[in-house]
Amino acid sequence: MLVPSPWRADFPAIAALQRQDQTYLDNAATTQKPQALIDALTHYYANGAANVHRAQHLPGAHATQAFEDSRSKVAQWLNAGDIGQIVFTHGTTSALNLLAYGLEHQFNPGDELVISALEHHANLLPWQQLAQRRDLKLVVLPLDAAGLIDLEAAAQLIGPRTRLLAVSQLSNVLGAWQPLPQLLAMAKARQALTVVDGAQGVVHGRHDVQALGCDFYVFSSHKLYGPDGLGVLYGRNAALQGLRHWQFGGEMVQDAEYQHATFRPAPLGYEAGTPPIASVIGLGATLDYLAGLDQDAVAAHEAALHDYLLHGLQARKGIRLLGAPQLALASFVVDGVHNADLAHLLTEQGIAVRAGHHCAMPLLKRFGLAGAIRVSLALYNDSADLERFFEALDQALEMLR
C-alpha cells in the first residue's frame, strides 16, 4: 500500500534533503519548516526588524502588532481562555525550568512532586533539582506493560502530600498518549497543581487546554513545524498569578528604583529582555498554515504511515519494540545488535533516525537498555521514506548478524 503525503511540497527542505540523499525520520527531535514560515521570516527581516513593546516608531508598531497577533494565534490553537495566558519562552525546557523556579516558594519540606517514569529529562531534572533544594519528595509513577502511566499505582501514589503533578502528554520514546484526564482528576482532587509537557503531544491533533483542565501546558515551536528558540507556556490565570518572577531585565518591570522594583503580571512579566521576535512571528505563520490543513486528513495520514512503520518493524525477525506505540514514532532494539552500530550503518545509507537514550535515561534503564533506535514521522513523510528506511535496515542487519 502506498501512503503519499499531499503536503510534502509545502516543505522545501524535504526535496533539498532528498538531493543530499537524506531521508529525514527524526521528527520527534525537530521538524522541517513549511514555505509559509520561511516567507514570514523573510518578510519580517526584509521589511524592517524592530523591537517589540518599546518603540513609538512605525517599524516597532508593526513588529509589536505581528508579535501580539501570533500570541492570539497560539491562544486560539490551544483554545486558551485569553491571550494573557500565553507566555513565550525559549522552549519546553525553559518553560519547565521557569515553572520549577517560579513555583518553588509554594512548597514546603516533605511536600510531594509527582512525575512519571517516562519523562523526558526536561520534565524530570527541573523537579528533581527543586526537590533537592527544598527537601521535597519526588514521587515517580510507574508504567504498565503497554508503557502507559499505571493508573492503579497513581491512585495510591497521588495523595494528601501531593502538591504538583507534571507529566508528558505523549512520550517521545514510547509514542503513546498518556491517560491525562484520569491523572489530572486525581491531582485536582488533592488540590495539586498540574503541568502537562505537550512537547510531543501538541504536534498531533488539536488540543484544548481548557477541556484538558491542566494548570500549565508547555510546548516547543520547533517540533510543531515552527522556528526554534521559542517555546510556549500556557497557564490558567490563577496558576500564573501564583508564579514568582524568574528573569529580570527589560520589559518585565512595572516600576524600578535603585533598591526596589515591581514587576508586570503575565505574560510580559515572564518575558524579560528582547524575545525571539522573528520566531514568534514565524510561529504565527506556521499555525496559520497548519490551521488551513484538513485536520482529519492529517490524522488519517499519520495513522496510515504509523501502521506502515509498525507492520514493517514487526515483520522483521529479532526486532523488539519499546512499549506499544500508538502514533508518531516507534523505538526499537534488535536482538544481538548494538544500537550504535545499527545507527551508524543507517546514517551511512542516508537515513536520519535517532539512536541513544532520547533524553530519558531512567526510562531506558527500566527497559534494561542504554539506548534504542527511534523512527519518528511527520505529516510530510510518505511510505517511500519508510521503504528507504526498511531497505537500509535490512542491509545493515545483514552486515551485523
Beta carbon of residue 250, minimum distance to ligand PMP (angstroms, whole number):
23
Q: How many Å apart are CA 36 and CA 370, to the nearest integer?
A: 39
Which of residues 116 and 123 has its CB atom nearest to ligand PMP in the complex? Answer: 123
> What cell does 161 get?
502530600
> What cell does 178 get?
498518556
Beta carbon of residue 167, minimum distance to ligand PMP (angstroms, whole number):
10
Beta carbon of residue 72, minimum distance to ligand PMP (angstroms, whole number):
23
DSSP letters of 329-354? EEEEEETT--HHHHHHHHHHTTEE-E
Q: Give 45's contacts (C-beta < 8 A, 6+ positions apart).
A: 278
Q: How many Å apart are CA 401 and CA 392, to the nearest integer?
A: 14
Among candidate residues 95, 83, 72, 85, the one with its CA nearest the CA of residue 288: 72
Among candidate residues 341, 348, 317, 319, the one with its CA nearest the CA of residue 331: 319
Beta carbon of residue 126, minimum distance to ligand PMP (angstroms, whole number):
11
267 preceded by a cis bond (ω within 30 of 0) = yes
Beta carbon of residue 286, minimum distance to ligand PMP (angstroms, whole number):
15
> Site residues (CB under 6 A) for ligand PMP?
91-93, 120, 122-123, 168, 172, 197, 199-200, 220, 359
Beta carbon of residue 218, minimum distance to ligand PMP (angstroms, whole number):
8
CA of 353: how far to CAs of 329, 337, 344, in Å? 11, 16, 10
Which of residues 209 and 397 has its CB atom nearest to ligand PMP in the complex? Answer: 209
Which of residues 280 and 396 has its CB atom nearest to ligand PMP in the complex? Answer: 280
Among candidate residues 3, 1, 396, 14, the one with its CA nearest the CA of residue 225: 14
Among 40, 96, 136, 359, the active-site one is 359
Count other C-beta atoms under 10 Å from residue 347's C-beta.
15
Distance of CA 284 to the CA centre of its chain: 17
Which of residues 342 and 359 has its CB atom nearest to ligand PMP in the complex? Answer: 359
DSSP state of 219: E
Which of residues 50 and 360 has its CB atom nearest to ligand PMP in the complex? Answer: 360
Beta carbon of residue 119, minimum distance to ligand PMP (angstroms, whole number):
8
359: annotated active-site residue: yes
What SS3 state is found at 125?
helix
Q: Give 240's contacts (C-beta < 8 A, 6+ positions apart).
A: 84, 85, 87, 265, 266
Which of residues 199 and 337 has its CB atom nearest to ligand PMP in the complex? Answer: 199
Count other C-beta atoms under 10 Å from residue 4's C-beta.
11
Give buried/exposed letters for 306-324 (b at 16+ CB in 10 A, else e): bebbbebbeeeeebebbbe
What SS3 state is found at 50?
coil
Active site residues: 359
